[in-house]
Amino acid sequence: MDESGDNGLVEGSTDFYILAGVSIETRYSKEFFWKILDFRKSITKQYGLKFQEIKGSDIFYHRGAFFNSLVNPPGLEKIHSNLVKILCQSPVELFATVKSKKGFRQQQFQLTKNSVKLFSQEIWREFLSTYESYLINKSRQLKYPQNGLIYFDDNPSQKKYIREIIRERSRKYDLESEFPEAGIVEDVIFRDSQESYFIQLADILAFTVSRIVCGRGESDVFAIKPEIADILITKLKGNVELYI
């Protein structure tokens, strides 16, 4: 999982806050990892890239390692389109939740020092509810419990409340339910995105969803083609369609 935008509510903050996640079964994770590694090797060789991390903002803004390379805006658009197509392959599942700050403000009588925490809690609970519903439905289909372990980009300022929200679900065990073992397990694992290809993919997904919702940014060197957006929207589970 990763995020796009910020969870601030003051003037000048982003209009939307977005959580996005890339989910893959353990049995397919090594195969998918090698697909990503091969893709990274191919663009490294083609464009003379030298990078540790692929970030969505760097692709759209033509900055960082992409600026100091042979890649041009059409090449960046191609790299992005190919990443979206990789993300949309089976057996990968994609999730995204969008939250409007304007909508949140309209629900509040007035903003307080706890408003940012409340705003963050709401979007996390919505995202986790969508993801856990997917795990439970898949458990019904396969007739055995499905579990999910959450990895999130390391962000010291958010660790405490993210842990609290995930533990609300991971530490429940309802023996009356159809599959009490199913759902989110353990505790969230925070990792530096530079060390995880999967979190980098979640970053690209989150940034792409932000562009689908908000449109092309002033600093973007290309716009997402409608057919690429359609591929992604069809694959996504969440509430993105409410905002486009």
Chunked in runs of 10, what are the mean pLDDT values of the chain (244 residues)? Answer: 93 93 96 96 95 95 94 97 95 96 88 90 96 96 96 90 93 90 94 96 98 97 97 97 94
- pTM of the model as a whole: 0.96
- Going from the C-alpha of 163 to that of each of 11, 134, 158, the distances in angstroms are 28, 21, 9
pLDDT score at 56: 97
DSSP letter assigned to residue 143? T
Q: 168-207 burial, b if ≥16 CB within 10 A, otherwise e? A: ebbeeeeeeeebeebbbbeebebeebeebbbbbbbbbbbb
What pLDDT score does 113 carry? 83
In whole angstroms, give the CA distance from residue 101 to residue 152: 22
- Where exactly are the structural domains of the chain? 2-243
pLDDT of residue 107: 87
User: Taking the CB of residue 98, how many other CB atoms lie within 10 A of it?
Assistant: 27
Determine the Cα–Cα distance for residues 107 and 157; give it in Å rounded to an integer: 25
Specify the pLDDT at position 198.
96
> Between the CA of residue 66 and those of 52, 62, 70, 153, 199, what are the distances in Å?
12, 6, 8, 22, 19
